[in-house]
Amino acid sequence: MAEALQRDAVVSSEAEPLILVDADDREIGHASKADCHDSHGILHRAFSLFVFNGHGELLLQQRSAEKRLWPGYWSNSCCSHPRQGEGMREATQRRLQQELGLRCALRFLYKFEYQADYGELGAEHELCSVYLGRTNAPVHANRNEVAAWRCVSPAELDREIAEYPERFTPWLKLEWRRLRHDFNEDLAAVAA
C-alpha cells in the first residue's frame, strides 16, 4: 500500500519555482509554474524524455484530466521542468521516477524554444532539452499525472500523428518531427 500511495503522490504544484531563461539558456530569474504558464507564457527551462522499450516501442503517456494545459492529450514519455536550484540530470531522473516509476540512462539530443497557446487557459513557452532513453522496467504510472500510457512503434506514431494530430500535445509533434528528420539514426539505435 505504501508503494501505491508514494506512486500516486502529488508531485507538482502551481506554486513551484521554475527557472526563467533567455534564448541562450542563461538563467535570468525564477517564477512560479502558474506565472510561467499564464497568458502567452514566460520563457522557462524544460525537458522532454522519449523512452523506448526493448521492442523498439516508444512509451507515450496521456496527460491527466487534472492538467491545466492540454489535459487528456497524448504526449511523449515524460516532460517537465527543473526547479529552482536543480540541475537537468537531477530533474529528469526525479520526474521520470515520480511520473512513471522508471529509472534509465538518458542521452541529451538537442534543445529548442517553442511557444504554444492553450486557448484562454494559458500557454507553454519553453526552452526545452530533448533526451532519449531505453528501459525494459515495468511502468508504475502516477495517476495524478498520467491518465493512461501505452507503447507504440515509431511507424505507428507517425501514422497516428498524421491521422489524428489533434490528439497530441504541440511539443510532442514538434519534437517527434525533428527526431524523425535529424535524429533517425539515434532513434534506430535506442530502439534496436
What is the set of active-site residues? 79, 126
- How far apart CA 49 and CA 59 sit, in angstroms, is 10
Scored b (16 or more CB within 10 A) or e, 58-89 reads bbbbbbbeebebbeebbbbbbbbbbbeeeebe
Residues 6 or more apart in contact with residue 24 via CB below 8 angstroms: none
Residue 44's DSSP bridge partners are 20, 126
